[in-house]
Amino acid sequence: MTDSQSTSPSLENLLHETRAFPPSPEFAAQANAQASMYDEAATDRVEFWARQARELVTWKTPFTQTLDWSEAPVAKWFADGTLNAAYNAVDRHVEAGLGDRVAIHFEGEPGDTRTVTYADLQREVSRAANALAALGVTAGDRVVIYLPMLVESVVAMLACARLGAAHSVVFGGFSADALRSRISDAGAKLVITADGGYRRGAPSALKPAVDEAIAPKDGEPATTVEHVVVVRRTEQDVAWTEGRDVWWHDAVEAADTFHEPAWVDAEHPLFILYTSGTTGKPKGILHTTGGYLTQTAFTHKNVFDLKAESDVYWCTADIGWVTGHSYIVYGPLLNGATQVIYEGTPDTPHRGRWWEIVQKYGVSIFYTAPTAIRACMKWGEEIPAEFDLSSLRVLGSVGEPINPEAWMWYRRVIGSDRTPIVDTWWQTETGAIMISPLPGVTAAKPGSAQVPLPGIAATVVDDEARPVPDGGGGYLVLAEPWPSMLRGIWGDLQRFKDTYWSRFPGIYFAGDGAKKDDDGDIWLLGRVDDVMNVSGHRLSTTEIESALVSNELVAEAAVVGAADEVSGQAVVAFVILRGEHADQASTDEGSARIEKTLRDHVAKEIGPIAKPKRILVVAELPKTRSGKIMRRLLRDVAENREVGDATTLADSSVMNLIQTGLAKPTEDEN
Ligand code: PRX
């Protein structure tokens, strides 16, 4: 596939001969996770989780009830216990005498650094909680966080949790319009943002998007936001609304360093995180406190084999995604880990930046996405070879299926052919890792997430909800409730039931296709719905189609995710122009202009991450007799494959028309 891959001549043989990589005896001997955990959980799944909740979480009031499934599909875990998430992530470590332990090594993209101990974090979070309280935030409120990767981002989330206010982090790559719809849906009282952040060597702006998002627009009133708190990061000039806008440093520095955490019920909302679904409207996934903390702490400790006193952990995700919530903020901090947080991109100022950071901090556990690994493969293995990566001892992968070639490269080049790799399957909705090998226990298979974790009932079923035999394929489902499961879609119980619990009544439908191999190991095969996975990010085809048709040029649009060597899938859009604009696409220059306009339009409506890689102007779209767009055929076209069975098309000549009218691919500017 690429130069760097072909330098591994034995790959085919290796895959064929070895098939699985058993843990080394040394690793197995000292591993946190033991094979006996599977038996313990199988004996009494609910009691297994109760034990984890008692061991890994500190409760203000201990719980006496474990699981209440009487109002299924809304679960209650540990319902009569009370606790505070920020206390668990920070204060209890300081109280245990670990105040001097480094919590965060921050590395800014320009090279500035900051070291934050647990004692520092306790002071900062307490002050920020006092500052937010002074601005009117109380338990039960929602606070939107729209920030780059900074120490303040972690502090802001924990300050909300300390007050019992739910945070809703919106990824900084989303546009003002996308931010507005999330702020409105959540009914947020306050937004925390920054003047901007550093990305690819230059400051980018964030505050203008917030100003636009919360102002009145097209007859819609201003949002419910009363204050905007602004972190200063880049020294850019920002527009200022007196009385509404507050500098983070002014508010936080003036605040008291003591704050009594709000002790909340286990089922108190911790956060809402918006994710794309099959319709145009993002879903506000709701997570609560006790169960979420239990499972994020358990998985972080056992899947990554964290030894808090000696490991340096680094997860390259952004806090705008669930991976950042569970495996930068809550899981690692609950376990008292020392971690790296890096602000920027892997190729700034050079393509070895990540490996330089691993060397500099002695990172021992590293968690990233297959798309990043494939990009590094493309850049060439001589780049990581320039750095000392010998500190690494566990590697993780998340967000999309990892192809065996990328898995092997990751292990050989980054892991010096010795580190275990954990391929972790989970979702925004599951809150924490659900399927993964356990290092020290599982013989790892390149490309497979393999086994449900102890206490997790993941399986593969057919159309009739019957478990498939080994060797069979079907849909991935979760047959029993788990502690960190979503408790609903914010404000829309019916949609929650329809989306996840109606396909197979009583069991959770994940939306992923999967197969079981002859050993019973699970292989994920990608989404079976209209959700795309681009660079490990979830995007909805319908949402991008809605964005396209909201442009005056477009009459109709169909979007598909086409296979892409680096990003897994790429967004490809087919559009029919409105009659009066149709002739604009008749010249190369005209179609290039249209493509640019529409790509910019999608960036404005949703964000740069959703920009189609290619936009093809067509005269018609393939539809069934009932008017449904046949995306499968469009995917064939986008992937340059022979078009499959088109017999159910209302007009089968449409496909010829589309193929002959194919435009050349546009440059990827994303
Ligand atoms: O399709 C699966 C894919 O990512 C989806 C969840 O996306 P999101 O909620 O954004 O969370 C991503 C980070 C947890 C899943 O439905 N996915 C995630 N991890 C894997 C995966 N597909 C295959 N293998 C994985 N390890």
**Ligand 1 pocket member 500 (CB < 6 A):** no
Per-residue b or e along 280-301, where b marks 16 or more CB atoms closer than 10 Å to that residue's CB: ebbbbbbbbbbbbbbbbbbbbb
Nearest CA to ligand 1 atom 18: 399
Nearest CA to ligand 1 atom 26: 425
pLDDT of 632 reads 87
Q: Say whether pLDDT at 663 is over 80.
A: no
Cα 200 to Cα 345: distance, rounded to the nearest angstrom:
6
68-116 pLDDT, tens digit per residue, is 999 999 999 999 999 999 999 999 999 999 999 999 999 999 999 999 9
pLDDT of 12 reads 52
**Ligand 1 pocket member 318 (CB < 6 A):** no
What's the pLDDT band for 2 if we cut at 50, 70, 90? Answer: very low
pLDDT of 660 reads 55
**Ligand 1 pocket member 428 (CB < 6 A):** yes
Q: Are 653 and 620 in contact (CB under 8 A)?
A: no
Which ligand 1 atom lies nearest to the CA of residue 424? 26
Out of 104-118, 325-339, 375-389, 630-644, least confident range? 630-644
Cα 599 to Cα 608: distance, rounded to the nearest angstrom:
9
Residue 429: strand, helix, or coil: coil
Q: How many Å lie between the centroid of ligand 1 and the Cα of residue 400?
A: 5
Closest by Cα among 616, 663, 626, 617 to 648: 626
Residues in the chain: 670
pTM confidence score: 0.93
DSSP β-bridge partners for residue 531: 540
Identity of residue 47: E
Q: How many Å lie between the centroid of ligand 1 and the Cα of residue 325?
A: 14
pLDDT of 657 reads 63
**Ligand 1 pocket member 511 (CB < 6 A):** yes
When pLDDT is averaged across residues 245-269 and rounded to a whole number, the result is 98
DSSP β-bridge partners for residue 166: 142
What's the pLDDT band for 665 if we cut at 50, 70, 90? Answer: very low
When pLDDT is averaged across residues 464-484 and rounded to a whole number, the result is 97
Out of 135-149, 252-266, 282-296, 582-596, least confident range? 582-596
Q: Say whether pLDDT at 498 is over 60.
A: yes
Greater confidence (630 vs 328) lies with 328
Cα 654 to Cα 623: distance, rounded to the nearest angstrom:
9
**Ligand 1 pocket member 399 (CB < 6 A):** yes
Q: How many CB atoms lie within 10 A of CB 638?
A: 26
Closest by Cα among 176, 340, 325, 155 to 229: 155
Q: How many Å lie between the centroid of ligand 1 and the Cα of residue 307?
A: 26
DSSP run (H or E) holding 144: strand 142-146
172-219 pLDDT, tens digit per residue, is 999 999 999 999 999 999 999 999 999 999 999 999 999 999 999 888
pLDDT of 3 reads 37
Considering 45-54, 530-539, 634-643, the range whose residues carry the highest mean pLDDT is 45-54
DSSP strand E in 353-413: where?
Answer: 365-368, 394-398
Q: Are 35 and 57 in contact (CB under 8 A)?
A: no
In the chain, the domains with their CATH numbers are: 535-661 (3.30.300.30)
Q: Are 126 and 257 in contact (CB under 8 A)?
A: yes
Nearest CA to ligand 1 atom 22: 400
Out of 54-58, 236-240, 597-601, 656-660, least confident range? 656-660
Q: What average pLDDT does the chain have?
A: 93
Q: Say whether pLDDT at 290 is over 70.
A: yes
User: How do 614-617 and 568-577 pair as beta strands?
Assistant: parallel
Cα 169 to Cα 271: distance, rounded to the nearest angstrom:
8
pLDDT of 8 reads 43
When pLDDT is averaged across residues 475-495 and rounded to a whole number, the result is 98
Q: How many Å lie between the centroid of ligand 1 and the Cα of residue 596?
A: 30
Closest by Cα among 148, 149, 169 to 157: 169
Which ligand 1 atom lies nearest to the CA of residue 526? 1
Q: How many Å lie between the centroid of ligand 1 and the Cα of residue 398?
A: 7
**Ligand 1 pocket member 405 (CB < 6 A):** no
Q: How many Å lie between the centroid of ligand 1 and the Cα of residue 320?
A: 15
CB contact set of 72 (below 8 Å; sequence gap of 6+): 481, 506
Per the listing, tokens 């099959």 go with 278
Q: What are phi and psi of 20, to 5 degrees?
A: -135, 150
When pLDDT is averaged across residues 576-582 and rounded to a whole number, the result is 90
349 prior amide bond cis, ω within 30: yes
Which ligand 1 atom lies nearest to the CA of residue 436? 26
Cα–chain center distance at 317: 7
When pLDDT is averaged across residues 5-28 and rounded to a whole number, the result is 66
Per the listing, tokens 């201990």 go with 62
542-563 pLDDT, tens digit per residue, is 999 999 999 999 999 999 999 9
**Ligand 1 pocket member 276 (CB < 6 A):** no
Q: What is the dihedral of CA 172, 532, 372, 510, to 10 degrees?
A: 100
Residue 6: strand, helix, or coil: helix
Q: How many Å lie between the centroid of ligand 1 and the Cα of residue 332?
A: 20
DSSP β-bridge partners for residue 102: 117
Q: Say whether pLDDT at 1 is over 60.
A: no
Greater confidence (555 vs 7) lies with 555
Identity of residue 96: A
**Ligand 1 pocket member 323 (CB < 6 A):** yes
301-345 pLDDT, tens digit per residue, is 999 999 999 999 999 999 999 999 999 999 999 999 999 999 999
Q: How many Å lie between the centroid of ligand 1 and the Cα of residue 288?
A: 21
Ligand 1 site-directed mutation target among 276, 287, 512, most atoms within 8 Å of CB: 512
603-628 pLDDT, tens digit per residue, is 999 999 999 999 999 989 988 888 88
Q: Are 392 and 416 in contact (CB under 8 A)?
A: yes
Q: What are phi and psi of 473, to 5 degrees?
A: -130, 160
pLDDT of 5 reads 38
